[in-house]
């Protein structure tokens, strides 16, 4: 049996996820009581639960470095969360602040995640895939996934990368030397 197969066999079968949507427009709609649909969250909820994992938290915040950092720090301390998906704010516009705000928290960046994600996205979406700064990192024994806000990107990342490896990543992140 290969080492990776042994690690996966010993890994948790179910991971507890938090999902954070970073969207000023949806946040303002919520604040003024307007109806809105968070399609990316709905897709994430379906994929996470259908693959045997749990969705334990949902947070909606505007594109604010201060609120994003506070949310991340709160979720790091949350005992019911193993992995956090941050959806939105990974592009090239001035208000896309997710990666720049959260990357300094990483104990270790999983650079391959962004590379593989962009490769898969290129096959599905074409040349615009390189505009994403999607990445992942380990923080205090948890894993952060920083994804674009599009429903297609969230579904692709969850189905093809995150859910199949979530338990394995958590086991490695929490491994003692």
Please spell the DSSP secondary structure of 36-78, one letter per residue.
---HHHHHHHHHHHHTT-EEEEEEEE-S-HHHHHHHHHHHHH-
- pLDDT value for 130: 82
* pLDDT score for 124: 85
Identify the structural domains of the chain with CATH numbers, from first to last: 15-173 (3.40.980.10)
Cα–Cα separations (whole angstroms), residue 164 to 17, 20, 118, 134, 172: 13, 20, 17, 18, 14
pTM of the entire predicted model: 0.93
Taking the C-alpha atoms of residue 145 and residue 19, their distance in angstroms, rounded to an integer, is: 10
pLDDT at position 43 is 98
What pLDDT was estimated at residue 126? 80
Question: Residues 153, 98: contact at Cβ < 8 Å?
Answer: no
3-state DSSP: the chain helix, strand, coil percent, rounded to 5? Answer: 55, 20, 30
Q: Measure CA of the first residue to CA of the last residue in the chain; give whole Å.
A: 22
Cβ burial, residue 29 (10 Å; 0-12/13-18/19+): middle
pLDDT tens digits, the chain, 177 residues: what are they? Answer: 666 665 666 777 899 999 999 999 999 999 999 998 999 999 999 999 999 999 999 999 999 999 999 999 999 999 999 999 999 999 899 989 999 999 999 999 999 999 999 999 888 888 888 878 999 999 999 999 999 999 999 999 999 999 999 999 999 999 874
Q: Which residues are CB-neighbours of 108 under 8 A, at least 6 positions away?
A: 137, 138
Q: What is the pLDDT of residue 4?
A: 61
């Amino acid at each position: 049996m290969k080492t990776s197969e042994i690690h996966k066999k010993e890994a948790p079968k179910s991971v507890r996820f938090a999902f954070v949507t970073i969207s000023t427009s949806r946040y303002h709609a919520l604040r003024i009581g307007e109806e809105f649909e968070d399609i990316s969250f709905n897709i994430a909820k379906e994929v996470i639960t259908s693959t045997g994992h749990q969705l334990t938290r949902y947070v909606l915040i505007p594109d604010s470095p201060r609120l994003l950092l506070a949310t991340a720090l709160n979720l790091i301390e949350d005992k019911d969360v193993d992995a956090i998906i941050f959806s939105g704010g990974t592009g090239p516009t001035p208000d896309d602040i997710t990666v720049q705000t959260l990357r300094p928290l990483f104990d270790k960046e999983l650079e391959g995640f962004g590379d593989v994600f962009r490769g898969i996205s290129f096959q599905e979406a074409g040349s615009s895939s390189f505009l994403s700064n999607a990445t992942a990192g380990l923080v205090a024994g948890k894993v952060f996934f920083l994804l674009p806000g599009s429903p297609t990107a969230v579904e692709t990342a969850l189905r093809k990368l995150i859910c199949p490896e979530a338990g394995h990543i958590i086991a490695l992140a929490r491994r003692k030397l």
